[in-house]
Amino acid sequence: MGHFSTLSIVLIAIGSHLSESTAVMLRGNEERNETITLDDGATLGKMPSFEYDVELVAKTFDWSEEDAQMHMTIQASFSSLVEKLEKMTNFADSEMAMNPGDCVTIYFKDKVPPDAEREIKVFENENSVDVATKVTKLSMSEQEDRAEKIADALNSLKFSSVGYSIGPGDVLIVNAVPPEDTDYEDTPDPGTDEVDLNVLDDIALEIFSSLMAQSINIQDTVNYDKVNQVANSNNGPKDKVGNQITNDYVPYDQLRNFLYGVRLFLSREDEGDTDFHTYGGRQIRSGTSQCTTGFTVVRSNGATTGVATAAHCTGMNMYDASPPTFDYLTFWQAQHNGNWGDFEWHTTPHIEPPEYWASPTQRRFVNAIDNSFSRNNVVCGYSRRRGLRFCDRIYRTNVRQGGTRRLIAMRNRNMVGGDSGGPWSFGTTAAGLVKGAKVIWFRWRDTWSRASYIPLGISGVIVRTT
C-alpha cells in the first residue's frame, strides 16, 4: 500500500476455564500489543488484535462477545491438548465444539491410551469442558496411507485431478475426474454433509474390485494375499469390466473393510481445484500476475530473514511496498509444493520484522505459530484482493489438492484470485498461508498450508515471531 489489553475480563469471567499455559500465552500477546504508529499513518491502538477477531467471530456466528471470547480461549487450550495427543501413534482426529459450551471430541484407533486419558482429564478440570472420546478403525497415519493408495490407484486408471480429504471417524472423501472413455456418472448430491459409514460406496467397490483383479497391490493396507483372486467366484453381480463381485470370497470382505468410510466424488467438470494467483499480507507480483505475502520468515540460525508466499506463485518477485517506500524486488530462495503444503520464501533488501497485515488498515505482530488444528476450529483470513478480513470454521484438517498434501480446508470459500500466499491467523498467532480453493463434497472451500509445516518443507526456515 498496518491487541488484547482487556483480556483480563476474559480471565475473570471464565476462571478455571483457562489453563495456566494458555493464560501465560495470552498475557504475553497482550503485553506485546501496544499501540504502534504505522508508516502510512494507521494505528493499531483502537482495538487489540484478539478483541478485534473475537468481535468478528461473534458477528459471524451470531454469538455474544462474551461467548465468543470464552469459545476462542477454550479453542486455544484444546489445540494445546491436541498437539500432545496427535503425537500418539493411534491418534485419529479431533473436533472442536461447534458452539460455546458444547463438548469437544477426540478420536483414537481401537482404544484411548492411558496417557491420553490423563491429559484429557487435566484439560477437563482446567477448562470445565467435557471431552467425548470415540474409537475408529484407522489412525490418522493409516488414513493417510489408505488415501495415497487410492489416489495412486485412480491415477493408474487414468482418472485425473485426484485429491482427497480425511474426516473424523474413518471418513475419506476422494475426488476425481473419470477417464473420457468410461461411463461413470457425476456423483449425485446426497443433500447432507455427513457420511453414513454403514453404506458402502458401490462405485468405489466396482473400481477397486477391477483393480484387484488386475493385481493392483493394496495388500499392505488390507493385509491379505492373492488379491487377484477376488473375481474367481461365479456368484454375485459383475462390475463394469465384467468381474464378479461377491460377499462369499474372503478378499471381498477385506476390500469392504478397506473401503469403509470412503466416498468417491466423481465429476467431469475439471474445475475442482483452484490456486489463487516486506510485511506479510502485501501484494507480490510479476507482470500482470499477482499473489500475496503471508508472514515474514527467518532461518532457524537467525542469520537471514525474508518473506513467505505460495510456491505456485512462480516468478513473482516485485513487492508492493507501503508508501512512501517505492516497490522493490525480492530474491527467491527456496520452495516446497508437496507433502507439507505450498510455500516459498524470498529475501528482500529491506528489514523484515515479525509483523503482517491482517486487514487493509491493521498491521499486527506475530507472537506465536499455531501448531495444531481440529475440525470446527475458528480461524480468520485476510483476502487482500477483496479488502476483507473474515472468520470461518475448519472443515477438514488433512486435504490433498493436486500434488499438495496436508492442507487445511474451511467450510466456505471467501478467498479470490491473487490471494494465494496470504495470511490465515487469529489475533497475533500465525496459522497458515493461502493455497486456493477446492470442491469437497459438493461445495467450494478455501484451502491453506500450515505455517508450522514450513520448516518440514523448507529445512531451517520458520515463521518469524516477536
- 125 vs 228 pLDDT, higher one: 125
The pLDDT confidence band at residue 7, using thresholds 50, 70 and 90, is very low
Task: Give the model's pLDDT for residue 120.
Answer: 98
Q: Which of 192, 191, 153, 190 minimizes the C-alpha distance to 174?
A: 153
pLDDT digits (tens, 9 = 90+) for 11-61: 223 333 334 334 333 333 433 443 333 433 333 444 689 999 999 999 999
Q: What is the mean pLDDT of residues 344-353?
A: 93
Model pTM above 0.85: no
Q: What is the mean pLDDT of residues 285-294?
A: 85
In this structure, what are the phi and psi dihedrals at residue 324, rounded to the nearest 5 degrees?
A: -90, 10
- 225 vs 190 pLDDT, higher one: 190
Task: Give the model's pLDDT for residue 16.
Answer: 34
Task: Give the model's pLDDT for residue 11.
Answer: 27
